Amino acid sequence: MKIGIIGSGKIGGNLGKHWSKAGHDVLFSSRHPEELGSLAKEAGDNAEATSVEAVFEADMDVYLLAVPFGAIDKISELYAGEYGNKVIIDATNPYPSRDGEVAEKVRDANYAASEYTATKFSTARTAKAFNTIQAAHLKNRAFQEVDRLAVPFAAQDNISKEIVEGLIEDIGFDAVYLGDLGKSKMMDVDEKLYGKSLSKNDLLNLFE
């Protein structure tokens, strides 16, 4: 698959490296793509770095959003209307101290943060994944044969569900589907699944 990484730090950088290792084509991006050369090199021959605009123009199959939540409005304007029908994987979390008023609004709302993202990227198929795992575990616990960690996810429709499930499993985590985006409320900051690194069984036990 062709995967565009929007925000190539602790989450986007490591996921991009994992997906590249799993054989996917990866384009890393940020506001400073000139600083992403060594990351792309480390990720291997099927990875490159470029601007956010160029990643959208490159017509990737899937986009990972791994930027501060406060950047979503602006990035969705770059995407708006022109690059519809793609899968957007939202790994972001709203923190008012970092992301300002929009994060406060979404944290106080009775909808899930991913539903805000889906509204902004309204022509895409939005899914929520990788926002509950700690960056160190994402980096160090991928591709494990034993003691695998589960990655919970929610998705807007069947197509995005299948694609995201595959991308989680491709890098050696167990995918646990929660339901549609409304269900991702339990993945949001301070909610039931937030910050939890658990096996699939332990995660499923939380629901019993």
CA 179/CA 161 separation, integer angstroms: 9
Q: Which is nearer to ligand NAP, 30 or 126 (CB)?
A: 30
Of all residues in the shown chain, the one whose CB is closest to ligand NAP is 9
Smallest distance from ligand NAP to CB 72, Å: 9
Which residue, 6 or 87, has its beta carbon nearer to ligand NAP? 6
Minimum distance from residue 109 beta carbon to ligand NAP (Å): 17
Contact 130, 138 (CB under 8 A): yes
Specify the residue, 59 or 77, whose C-beta has the smaller distance to ligand NAP.
Answer: 77
For the bound state, the minimum distance from the C-beta of residue 135 to ligand NAP, rounded and expressed in Å, comes to 3
Query: What single DSSP character describes residue 148?
Result: P
Helix axes 72-79, 113-120, angle to 10 degrees: 30
Residues binding ligand NAP (CB under 6 A): 6-12, 30-32, 52, 66-69, 71, 74-75, 91-93, 131, 133-135
Q: How far is the CB of 186 from ligand NAP (least distance, A)?
A: 15
Of 50 and 131, the one with the shorter C-beta distance to ligand NAP is: 131
Which residue matches tokens 């069947």?
A: 158
| Residue whose CB is less far from ligand NAP, 68 or 172 | 68
Shortest separation between residue 127's beta carbon and ligand NAP, angstroms: 14
Q: Provide the β-strand partners of residue 48.
A: 27
Label the pairing between strands 2-6 and 25-30. Answer: parallel
Query: Residue 95 or 177: which CB sits closer to ligand NAP?
Result: 95
Count of C-beta atoms within a 10 Å radius of residue 187: 25
Burial of 189 (0-12, 13-18, 19+ CB in 10 A): middle
Q: Are 175 and 165 in contact (CB under 8 A)?
A: yes
Q: Are strands 150-155 and 125-129 parallel, antiparallel or unpaired?
A: antiparallel
**Nearest approach, Cβ of residue 20 and ligand NAP (Å):** 16
